[in-house]
Every structure is written in C-alpha cells, then in structure tokens.
Amino acid sequence: MRRVMASGEEGEWMGASRPAEASKLFEATFAAGDLDGLMELYEDDAVFTNAQGAHAGPEAIRQVLAGYLSTGASIVMNESVAFEAGDLALVHWSWTMNFPDGRVAEGATAEVLRRQPDGSWKFIIDNPDGPGLISHA
C-alpha cells in the first residue's frame, strides 16, 4: 500500500515506528488529504474525542476526519512528549491549525497509542483538544 510518509513523500506504508511519530504521520497524511491514510493510523475500536463528544469506531472517526479535511485547513504538529508503558503510550503534542480564511487555532493533544503486532503504533484514543475538553464536559 502506498501512502504519504511523515516526510511528506509517498512510499510504502510502514506506520509509526515510535509513538510520537504517529502525529507527524497524521500531519503529513492530513496535508495530502488522504482520508484512507488517516484511518490507517487508528485501531478499529479507537475513539476520537472533540467538543461534540466521543466518536467510536472507524465509521464515526472517518466522518469526523472527513469534516476536518473539508475545511481546507492545514495542521502543524509542534513539540511533543511521549511516555511508554509496555505496549501503551501517552503522547502530548502542541498543534497549530491554519484555515484558508486566515483563522488560526492552537491546542494540545492527549493521545493514547498501542503497539501493534508488526511493531507499529496506532491511536486507540485520540483527543486533539487535550485539556480543552474539560470546559465542554
């Protein structure tokens, strides 16, 4: 399968080799507008959270990500910190999203990833709004 790599170039899909790499793959795949590639970053039973709630499973996550892609925005994943515990990892990224109309949004993630049998890492919980969700509870 050919997909966009973290470098932004096309190549054979390898997945994230380290937990913190998953967000850079998300950034490159988002920039390419590759919804199928974005879905490759998630386990089948993953949950994606935002101000509208928790979106569980591939169809729900696909719908949310398609909505983000349809805005024409670009996203830059900035600094990160990752904590691994066996086959699980908690990763925090700061991000900047630039919209075509000039608006800019910033935030920080709280993501949980799991090591896959092939050694790659996939999202099981993706919370791009990090602590921002607390005010939406």
With vertex at residue 113, the alpha carbon angle to CA 77 and CA 111, rounded to the nearest 5 degrees, is 45
Residue 64, Cβ density class (10 Å: 0-12 exposed, 13-18 middle, ≥19 buried): middle
Q: What is the pLDDT of residues 47-64, one digit of tens each?
A: 999 988 999 999 999 999
Third-level CATH fold of 2-132? Nuclear Transport Factor 2; Chain: A, (3.10.450)
- Average model confidence (pLDDT) for the chain? 89
At 78-123, the pLDDT tens digits run 989 999 999 999 999 999 999 999 999 999 999 999 999 999 999 9
CA–CA separation, 69 and 56 (whole Å): 19
Annotated domain spans of the chain:
2-132
